Amino acid sequence: MDDEPQDAPQPTRPVAPVFKAPKQVSRPRPPPPQEEELGAEPKLGDFEDVHALSVSEARAVITAVHSARQKKDASQNPLGGDRVHNDSQCGADVYARSITQFMDYLDVFSRYKQSENLHAMSGLLDSHSELSSVEKAMLGSLACDSSDEAKTLIPSLANKISDENLQALLDEMSKLQDRFT
């Protein structure tokens, strides 16, 4: 009996640690995107309360900013002193080419190039308070010939202005267009 081993402690197996996954932290879910469409009731999402520009108005703004930057000393350039003022003198510069191409696009598609005609068109559209800023910008850019064409391209006009009043507005706008400049 003395030969029997006493209750010797059995070697204990180490207990494997339990893996706990870290708490999942993720960025907040973005708000669902708002639908943007120009139907019978324009839905513009983030751009709901922003003033829209026609192509001609955008051309006037971009041309004025570009001219002002060209007149400034390079050290006063908001883009940094080593940047050229977005002109074509630095032909290899991608930004200069982009600005030049953008200005060319605006020159081709702008309907009112003379500032007098642009101001007259803007005043004419502003006299129609029932139209939204987006509708005015689209009328100024699309150069529709008839009220049917305008109401097809801009569906929100259907309940805001009569065909006769819209046609009179389009005729006045057509007289102001710079067709051959």
- Domains parsed from the chain with CATH numbers: 52-67+87-181 (1.20.1250.40)
Bridge partner list, 37: 43
87: pLDDT strictly greater than 90: no
What is the per-residue DSSP string for 59-100? HHHHHHHHHHHHHS-GGG-TT-TTS--S-TTSTT-HHHHHHH
Whole-number Å distance between alpha carbons of 41 and 167: 21
Query: Who wins on pLDDT, 159 or 38?
Result: 159
- Which pLDDT does position 88 carry in this prediction? 44
Between residues 95 and 119, the one the model is more confident about: 119
Average confidence (pLDDT) over 68-94: 60
- pLDDT, tens digit, for every residue of 43-56? 777 777 788 899 99
Written as six digits, the tokens of 71 are: 């007149």
Cα 74 from Cα 77, distance rounded (Å) = 5
Distance (Å, whole) CA 170 – CA 145: 7
Distances (CA, A) of 71 to 58, 88, 120: 20, 14, 28
- The pLDDT score that the predictor gives to residue 26 is 78
In this prediction, residue 150 carries a pLDDT of 93
pLDDT tens column, 146-156: 999 999 999 98
